[in-house]
Amino acid sequence: MESYPLGFNTTTKGYIYKAKKGLSEKLVREISQIKNEPKWMLALRLAALKQYESMPIPLWGADLTDINWDNIHYYLKPVDRVYKSWEEVPDNVRKVFEAIGVPEAEKEMLAGVGGQYDSEVIYHSLKKTLAKVGVVFLSMDEGLKQYPDIVSKYFGKIVPYGDNKLAALNTAVWSGGSFVYIPRGIKVDLPLQAYFRINAENAGQFERTLIVAEEGSSVHYVEGCSAPAYSSASLHAAVVEVVVKKKAKVRYTTVQNWYKTVYNLVTKRALVGEDSTMEWVDCNLGSKITMKYPSCILQGERAHGEMLSIAVAGESQQQDAGAKMIHLAPNTTSKITSKSISTNGGRTSYRGQIKIAATANEARSKVVCDALILDSLSRSDTYPNNQILTGDATLEHEAYVSRISEEQMLYLMSRGLTTKEAEGIIIRGFLEPIIQELPMEYAVELNRLVKMEMIGSVG
Amino acid sequence: MKKVIEKYSEPGEWEAMLSFERIGDDKEWLGVLDAREPGKYKLTIIADHKVENTKGKITVRAVVGKNAHVIIKGIIRIRKGAQKTNNYLELRVLMLDKTATAIAEPELEIEANDVKASHGATIGQIDKIQMLYLTSRGLTETQAQEEIVNGWLNV
């Protein structure tokens, strides 16, 4: 596909470890051994593997029956360690990250950067001033080595391995991902960024991320993803756990641009404490199939959960995305804003849940879903589930599906714009409320991606 | 335009199907769900647009009282080729008591592009200012609530 500029790959010849295709208990033990993990982690992996094998493939949502689970490399270790400067990173890997622009962005405007290549994190850095005050930003593997107490306290507690089949799979074979710890009262002004790259063909990437924000702290974590243009399928099944303590604030931004053969099946969940805020900003543009519903469990009084999401589905793509807000405490609030565009036969689905438990007195929630369908081949669905289990809670939900308004097009074209220009302006305006929340270079990138996706879509 | 009003005021389970099969079909449907009696109420309404150039408007108004549990599912389905469809589905639920629960599932399944399909769902309580107005004019809380609910259900 010529409009996917990140579609290059490099050889996997020099990889330190390349697991044979397929999943087995032997492999799980091997991964744990290579990583030199504590016993409890191996035990957890093995229990999760059993759970995974006993669970059926989900039958709701997107169709996953085409995935050939035995044709995937579950563990691929490209280099021998995590590098701290880009000069040390082996040429073939560094060039990929340079082409994506990661080292450059780091110099300009980031507080810390992690880079993952297939199964392992190959680069990590954090500004010295932040390290000094106790901020931790490491690969999950390093985090487990250096901070075993914090990791064992939270790992698998927010997303237990029995949660769903893919979470079980991730827990069994997880590798890489980020470990972020923000001490009490520390506000990290610049974003921490992680970049995930799949390089090998038929790769499985199972990164695991844990973010703990202590009382009164704040952090913005940004992740980007891409993969080479292979014709056969790869699998990305991540688990992200976030703990937002009292009066803390965490924003988690994702710009997902996997190649169109990647299955992206991700579980993300945050535990939100008293007077604290969790914000998910989730942009799904790539992948063959995405199933992802980031959640907030609002368990402290006055906790606030927010989701801003963009989904764009082009030819042969299905974006089945949404959010879940679980209100458990009084006066909790949540808001979901979802924008989706389907074009060239793509399908977008908003699937979300608002649950206001009987204990969440006077909780409030608002959900707005807007969808544009650009041609007659494409499809858009909205599947919200709103469960209000206390009589004094308030819910507002609205959804709107349409094509680009003729009136708006006519107005712009009568001012001399071509069809394409007019459509571009309308689409940018449609996505603007979310794009403006993105860090600058991601906003530019997103505008570019959306434009690319729209080429030839105007009928 | 054909307008249908359905009333449901005892616990139970109902399904209503609104089929748009002829070009130019224009239908309005109002469901009034009076769940002031304790119990379980489940209402499903489906608008199925099979041909082009049809128009629908679906409204459900519900009041949910003490120990009453309501599930309302509303689906707008626009099939391939059913272009120039216009439908709006509105689910409005008034909760009268803390023990009332409501599950609202408004769904859209859209396979055509030249359409307007939207839905709104609200779940909330009686406006306190309206209550204050009526009680300050001598109505008891119960009477005031009754007046507001009746007005709102339009019965």
- Lowest pLDDT segment from A35-39, A169-173, A384-388, B1-5: B1-5
The pLDDT of residue A424 is 87
Round to the nearest angstrom and report the end-to-end CA distance of chain B: 21
A373 with A344: CB under 8 angstroms? Answer: no
B70 with B35: CB under 8 angstroms? Answer: yes
The pLDDT-based confidence of B88 (bands split at 50, 70, 90) is very high
CA atoms within 13 A on the CB side of A17: 16
Tokens of residue A219, six digits: 């952090």
- Is the pLDDT confidence value at A2 over 70? no
CB pairs under 8 A between A and B: 114
The pLDDT-based confidence of A4 (bands split at 50, 70, 90) is confident
B63 close contact with A: CB closer than 8 A: no
Nearest-neighbour CA in chain B from A340: distance (Å):
13
- B122 neighbourhood in chain A, CB within 8 Å: 394-397
Residue A138 CA to residue B136 CA, distance in Å, equals 63
Q: Mean pLDDT across the stretch A11-18?
A: 88
- Is the pLDDT confidence value at A459 over 50? no
The tens digit of pLDDT for each residue in A57-84 reads 998 999 999 999 999 999 999 998 899 8
Taking an 8 Å cut-off on Cβ atoms, the answer to whether B107 and A382 are in contact is: yes
Instruction: Give me the residues paired with residue A7 across strands.
Output: none
Place of tokens 């690319």: A452
The pLDDT of residue A440 is 79
The pLDDT of residue B110 is 93
- CB-nearest to B118 from A379, A386, A401 is A401
Residue A218 CA to residue A451 CA, distance in Å, equals 33
E strands of A8-104, at which residues? 17-18, 76-77
Q: Could you tell me what percent of chain A has a pLDDT over 90?
A: 77
Question: Any residues with CB less than 8 A from the CB of A365 and at least 6 apart, and which?
Answer: A325, A327, A333, A334, A335, A336, A354, A356, A386, A393, A394, A395, A396
A138 with A112: CB under 8 angstroms? Answer: no
The pLDDT-based confidence of A116 (bands split at 50, 70, 90) is very high
The tens digit of pLDDT for each residue in B13-65 reads 999 999 999 999 999 999 999 999 999 999 999 999 999 999 999 999 999 99
Which residue from A minimizes the CA distance to B73?
A385
Burial letters B26-48, b for 16+ CB under 10 A, else e: ebebbbbbbbbeeeebbbebbbb
- B120 neighbourhood in chain A, CB within 8 Å: 396-399
The pLDDT-based confidence of A420 (bands split at 50, 70, 90) is confident
The pLDDT of residue A438 is 87
The pLDDT of residue A455 is 60
Task: Give the CA radius of gyration of chain B.
Answer: 17
- Is the pLDDT confidence value at A457 over 60? no
**Residue of B44, B99, B110, B114 for testing the chain A interface, max A β-carbons within 10 Å:** B110
The pLDDT of residue A100 is 83
- Is the pLDDT confidence value at A458 over 70? no
- Is the pLDDT confidence value at A95 over 90? no
Q: What is the 3-state secondary structure (H, E, C) of B63-79?
A: EECCCEEEEEEEEEEEC
- CB-nearest to A391 from B97, B116, B120 is B97
Residue A255 CA to residue A266 CA, distance in Å, equals 13
The pLDDT-based confidence of A143 (bands split at 50, 70, 90) is very high
The pLDDT of residue A454 is 67
The tens digit of pLDDT for each residue in A148-206 reads 999 999 999 999 999 999 999 999 999 999 999 999 999 999 999 999 999 999 999 99
Taking an 8 Å cut-off on Cβ atoms, the answer to whether B105 and A402 are in contact is: no
The tens digit of pLDDT for each residue in A39-62 reads 999 999 999 999 999 999 998 999
Which residue from A minimizes the CA distance to B97?
A391
Residue A146 CA to residue A13 CA, distance in Å, equals 31
Burial of A68 (0-12, 13-18, 19+ CB in 10 A): exposed
- Global pTM reads 0.93
Taking an 8 Å cut-off on Cβ atoms, the answer to whether B64 and A391 are in contact is: yes
Q: Mean pLDDT across the stretch A23-49?
A: 97
The pLDDT-based confidence of A247 (bands split at 50, 70, 90) is very high
The pLDDT-based confidence of A439 (bands split at 50, 70, 90) is confident
The pLDDT of residue A1 is 43
Place of tokens 């169709």: A63
The pLDDT-based confidence of B112 (bands split at 50, 70, 90) is very high
The pLDDT of residue B155 is 59
**Residue of A380, A394, A454 for testing the chain B interface, max B β-carbons within 10 Å:** A380
Round to the nearest angstrom and report the end-to-end CA distance of chain A: 21
Taking an 8 Å cut-off on Cβ atoms, the answer to whether B101 and A387 are in contact is: yes
- B103 neighbourhood in chain A, CB within 8 Å: 385-388
The tens digit of pLDDT for each residue in A278-294 reads 999 999 999 999 999 99
